[in-house]
Structure 1
């Protein structure tokens, strides 16, 4: 499992994705604007593939 967290400029952390959101062993991220795409092991499972997204503000 795992989490994806946002680290703000002031050093504070905000968890943006967890296993509840479908995240499973995050492997990489891509950011476009305020959208974060998180590739994880779940994207390669035949039972429930996904690409979790987080929106930052």
Structure 2
């Protein structure tokens, strides 16, 4: 399915498909990946930000 992505298309996907490889593939074909971030990713970002602020 990803092989037929056209430029300026929007790739809609579930949280389970949130990874850099899929986003890079979409960007390489000129499409935009609309994939919500995984909940664990938000927790990791918060933890890293919290460490920096301290």
The verdict on a shared fold, with TM-score over 0.5 as the criterion, is no
Return the structure number with greater helix share: 2
Larger gyration radius, structure 1 or structure 2: 2
Compute the TM-score of the two structures, normalised by the length of structure 2: 0.23
Which gives a bigger RCO, structure 1 or 2 (Cα 8 Å, sep 6+)?
A: 2
Return the structure number with greater strand share: 1
Compute the TM-score of the two structures, normalised by the length of structure 1: 0.22
